[in-house]
Amino acid sequence: MPIELKGKISDIIFQNDENGYTIANLISDELGEVTVVGCMPSVRELDNIQVSGEWKTHDIYGRQFSVMSFTHMAIDSLDGIIAYLASGTIEGIGLKMAHKITDKFGIKAIEILETNPNRYLEIEGIGRKKLDKMISSHMEGRQLKSIITAFSPYGISPAYCMKIYKKYADKSIDMVMNNPYGLCKDVKGIGFKKADEIAKKLNAGLDSLERIEEGIKYLLQEAAYSGHTYMLMPQLVSKAKELLSIDEEEILSCLNQMAINGGITIEEVDIEQRIYLDSYNLAETRAASNLIKLAYMNELENQEKTIEQLELEEDIELSELQKKAVTMALENKMMILTGGPGTGKTTTLSFIIKSFEQMKRKIILCAPTGRAAKRMSQATLRPASTIHRLLEAVYSEEADGLIFQKDEDDPIAADVIIVDEVSMMDVMLLDSLLLAVSENTAVIFVGDKDQLPSVGAGRVLQDMLESNTIPSIELTEVFRQAKQSMIIVNAHKINKGELPITDQKNTDFFFMAKKTPSQIAELIVELVSDRLPKYYKLSSNNIQVLSPMRKSEAGVLNLNLLLQEALNPARQGKREHKAGNRTFRTGDRVMHIKNNYEKTWENLEENISGEGIFNGDLGYIDFIEPSEKKLYIQFDDGKRAEYDFTELDQIEHAFATTVHKSQGSEFDCVVMPVSAFPPMLMSRKILYTALTRAKKLAILVGDAKYLKAMISNVYEEKRNTALSDKLKLYKETGMLLEENNGATVPF
């Protein structure tokens, strides 16, 4: 049961205006002064409050009271009223004016402001405009307090109250009481489950249309998070019955109504009914239409002479398959180039770029992530950007999310766009990119079809290839120089379902046998912290530990703790900050894990600055300033960014990271545990992806039977996607989607 305390706030130690997180001292009649910590956005010095929560012990700051909810009590002293008036809560009042007001009205100052505010005009220095601002800011604070008080019994935390108030203002209580499910679409961070929890406490009807609609949208969005662009009708109905505890008839009735009113799309394909959120159906359908339009509406002239001339000038002799790939790229408005490691994909791509340059074409290179773009730039010796930056992504307050400024009305100015690491693209990003490609621009997609699919919905590269509607070529020949690398040789063996060669000396690939997860973790720490740096002269920043999963002794979370202790232990004079169960320390290897397009950065070496830190960006903590509650991260690409302690949910330790997070990256050395992981993570594709991240050295540590199991396991979760079907349909029928009315037109 939560503990309750009453008392007066004696001191605000820290308060974040954005999320309401507060650290304060509370003087309690029973316990004296205690530290209270939690979301208390409207609390000010000398406020009387009642808090509910539990005691916790902080490693550095000792015993604290963790606040789950709180309520304001009346201010019962003149000092308290002066402190409130002068706190900054009421716009236009400082300490001097607060004394003037209390000299005039005494302990009734706040009551008069609320019931007869015009009397404040009697005070010198307060005119009508100033009074209006005072009333507005006081009422805003009062409304927030009343909302927190009203919602507290229903389990709505102060943090959520703050979000609700920012959206609904003085209508907050009525809006939530009348339709708590409106929070799902109106208030960022409140999903169906939280809204449903609130609704149940409000005794809202379980069979309301709003509840069923939001429950269905929730299930479709959860499916999208798992990679699916749609759900099949039987699967959706089954899950909805389980989630909502209602009859199938009510679900089907609601689905039909939603399809009529908008929000979902029901597609009949053969005997299947596919249920989409409208946004995913539009993205998939429009992307298919634009792919076919770009691929088949233009014809280019033969470029055989251009290729022959460049071969002579560059003194390069391409293989027949590489020549075919270059020819395809130059003679088609769209093509797909795939191939595994060592098959000459980079050489072919560089030749394609030089050919276009000779033809005076403007070329733009891009990739889904910052690290993939950096790698592309290093391989081609040409600038490359993220797709988001190319599309000029900005945060829109009106849309409460990301929007792209480049689109069909303002397309990308380029003759050729080359997109690398296409396996990482989801269908929403593909759609946004194609919208910004003009009919006069050629597009070349580059990727490895055997890599893991995108984190977001869709399987873009696989669907495009399987449709056989877009010119494509796969480079399969492993070149002689590449065969000298056992990393490349073994990657191809694993991809074919064969065991890797592990008995060669003086090579770049090793398998080190250990049985238990604890033994595996212990050896990995020893390798990274001692043996590899000594023998190979590698710094720890050039060694990346990749694990298939986060939990377990050989998982990312435990490995990060062990590696931090070994590589960057606590010592006197080294600054650190504890956040929950994590300790961030100067020198720690970290990764930014959420796209933040507004995060400012500066590059001191190049004397430039800008905005945008992206999911997967790696760096290290180079400075912590506890007094300012900030730390600074120096990223590998030269950017340096400042993080408030309240933003630490955007970063995590990266001495070890997941294989999924490593996509699009390359490291000098990769070390990977091979242990008993869940079947979906013990797959050939996971092993292949991890191994192909290594440039110079790859070491697998674990049990040979699990290595064999991974290679044998071709598990790949089936994704419900229809990009391939739609590509075939548009090509076969010769019809394309028309934007204006959603109809199809011939091309």
For residue range 288-316, list pLDDT tens digits in order: 999 999 888 666 666 667 777 777 777 77
If we measure between CA atoms, which residue out of 559, 532, 511 comes closest to residue 687?
Answer: 511
Which residues define the annotated binding site for ATP? 342-346
Please return the burial class of 85, using the count of CB atoms within 10 Å of its CB with bins 0-12, 13-18 and 19+. Answer: buried
Tens of pLDDT, residues 524-572:
999 999 999 988 888 877 899 999 998 889 999 999 999 999 999 988 8
Beta pairing partners, 71: 50
Give residue-wise pLDDT tens across range 584-596. 999 999 999 887 7
pLDDT at 309: 75
Tell the residue number behind the tokens 């380029």, with chain if given: 414
Q: What is the arithmetic mean of pLDDT over 656-669? A: 89
Per DSSP, the residues of 516-583 read SHHHHHHHHHHIIIIIHHHHH---GGGEEEEES-SSSTTSHHHHHHHHHHHHS---TT--EEEETTEE
Quote the CA–CA distance of 130 and 114 in Å, as a whole number: 15
Percent of the chain with pLDDT strictly greater than 70 = 91
For residue 153, list its beta bridge partners. Answer: none
Mean pLDDT, residues 484-498: 90
- pTM score: 0.76
Token pair 């005119």: residue: 127
**Residue 499 reports pLDDT greater than 70:** yes
pLDDT at 89: 65
Q: Please give the Cα distance from 726 to 737 (Å, whole number).
A: 11
Residues whose CB falls within 8 Å of the CB of residue 312, separated by 6 or more in sequence, listed in order:
none
Q: State both tokens at 91.
A: 């716009």
Q: Give dist(CA 364, CA 383) in Å, integer.
A: 8
Say how many CA atoms lie within 13 Å of 15 toward its Cβ: 17
Distance of CA 297 to the CA centre of its chain: 36
Nearest to 440 by CA among 304, 300, 336, 327: 300
Which residues contact residue 221 at a Cβ distance below 8 angstroms, ignoring those fewer than 6 apart? Answer: 277
Which domains does the chain possess? 3-152 (2.40.50), 182-277 (1.10.10.2220), 281-479 (3.40.50.300), 498-570+582-712 (3.40.50.300)
Query: Does the pLDDT value for residue 740 go beyond 50?
Result: no
> Which tokens go with 571?
């010592």
Please count the other Cβ atoms lying within 10 Å of the Cβ belonging to residue 740.
Answer: 6
Contact between 202 and 217 under an 8 Å Cβ cutoff? The reply is no
In this structure, the number of other CB atoms found within 10 A of the CB of residue 735 comes to 16
Residue 647 banded pLDDT, cuts 50, 70, 90:
confident
Tokens standing for residue 231: 């759900």
Tell me 662's DSSP state.
Answer: G
246 — pLDDT class (breaks 50, 70, 90): confident
- Determine the Cα–Cα distance for residues 676 and 389; give it in Å rounded to an integer: 40
Rounded percentage of the chain residues whose pLDDT exceeds 90: 38
What pairs with residue 57 in β-bridges?
63
CA 711 to chain centre: 30
Banded pLDDT at 206 (limits 50, 70, 90):
confident
381 band by pLDDT with thresholds 50, 70 and 90: very high
With cut-offs at 50, 70 and 90, classify the pLDDT of residue 191. confident
CA dihedral 235, 236, 240, 246 (to 10 degrees): -80
Q: Given the structure tokens 């201010």, which residue do they identify?
A: 75
C-alpha to C-alpha distance for 33 and 44, rounded to whole angstroms: 16
**Amino acid type, 345:** K
**Residue whose tokens read 């790859």:** 698
Comparing 207 with 710, which gets the higher pLDDT? Answer: 710
Q: Which residues pair with 267 in a beta bridge?
A: 274
The answer to whether 727 touches 463, Cβ cutoff 8 Å, is yes
Distance of CA 186 to the CA centre of its chain: 20
Q: Please tell me the total number of residues recorded for the chain in this structure.
A: 747
Lowest-confidence segment of 50-54, 294-298, 406-410, 634-638 by average pLDDT:
294-298
Q: What amino acid is encoded at 207 in this protein? A: D
Which of the pair, 280 or 14, is modelled with greater confidence? Answer: 280
DSSP string for 281-299: HHHHHHHHHHHHHHHHS--
Alpha-carbon gap, residue 465 to 447, rounded angstroms: 11
Instruction: Determine the pLDDT at residue 644.
Output: 86
Which residues are 402's β-sheet partners? Answer: 395
Instruction: Report yes or no: 156 and 175 within 8 Å, Cβ to Cβ.
Output: no
Tokens at 169, concatenated: 């203002």
In angstroms, the CA 179 to CA 727 distance is 41
Tens of pLDDT, residues 428-439: 999 999 999 998
Q: Residue 210: pLDDT band by 50, 70, 90 thresholds?
A: confident
Q: Does residue 325 register a pLDDT over 80?
A: yes
Which one is predicted more confidently, 397 or 2?
2
Where are any strands of DSSP class E within 587-741? 589-592, 596-603, 608-613, 618-625, 630-635, 640-644, 651-653, 656-658, 667-674, 694-702, 735-737
- Give me the mean pLDDT over the 711-733 stretch: 89
705 CB burial (10 A radius; 0-12, 13-18, 19+): exposed
Across the range 390-401, mean pLDDT stands at 75
Buried/exposed code over 459-488 (b: 16+ C-beta within 10 A; e: otherwise) = bbbbbbbbbebbbbbbbeebeeebeebbbb
Task: Determine the straight-line distance between the first and last CA of the chain, rounded to whole angstroms.
Answer: 68
Binding residues: 342-346
pLDDT of amino acid 1: 67
Amino acid at 145: K
Q: What is the pLDDT of residues 686-713, one digit of tens each?
A: 999 999 999 999 999 999 999 999 999 8
**CA dihedral in degrees (156, 157, 160, 166; nearest 10)?**
100
The number of C-alpha atoms within 13 Å of 684 and in the hemisphere containing its C-beta is 19
Q: What integer pLDDT is reported at residue 425 of this predicted model? A: 92
How distant, in Å, are the alpha carbons of 79, 216, 251, 401, 425 from that of 220?
Answer: 55, 6, 14, 19, 20
Cβ neighbours, 10 Å, residue 396: 11
Residue 111: Cβ within 10 Å count: 12
Mean pLDDT over 577-589 rounds to 88
Instruction: Kindly report the number of other CB atoms within 10 A of residue 589's CB atom.
Output: 24
3-class DSSP assignment, residue 364: strand
Predicted confidence (pLDDT) at residue 742 exceeds the cutoff of 60: no
C-alpha closest to that of 385 among 357, 364, 412: 364
Q: Which two tokens stand for residue 719?
A: 């994704």
Mean pLDDT across 402-409:
88
**Among 213-217, 401-405, 406-410, 457-461, whose mean pLDDT is lowest?**
401-405
Residue 141 has pLDDT above 80, yes or no: no
d(CA 691, CA 684): 11
Q: Following CA atoms 151, 157, 162, 167 in sequence, which dihedral angle do they give, to the nearest 10 degrees?
A: -60
pLDDT top residue among 88 and 463: 463
Average of per-residue pLDDT across 622-637: 87
In the predicted structure, residue 205 carries a pLDDT above the cut 80: no
Residue 107's pLDDT band (cuts 50, 70, 90): confident
Torsion angle, CA of 449/453/456/459, rounded to 10 degrees?
50
d(CA 460, CA 423): 7
Query: What whole-number distance in Å separates Cα of residue 651 and Cα of residue 642?
Result: 12
- What's the mean pLDDT when you consider all of the chain? 85
355-356-357 Cα angle (round to 5): 90
Confidence at 680, pLDDT banded by 50, 70, 90: confident
Q: How far apart are CA 552 and CA 84, in angstroms?
A: 51
CA 297 to CA 276: how far, in whole Å? 29
Return d(Cα 375, Cα 616) in angstroms, integer.
Answer: 13
Q: Which of 395, 364, 419 is nearest to 611 (CA)?
A: 395
529: Cβ–Cβ under 8 A, 6 or more apart, which residues? 540, 563, 566, 567
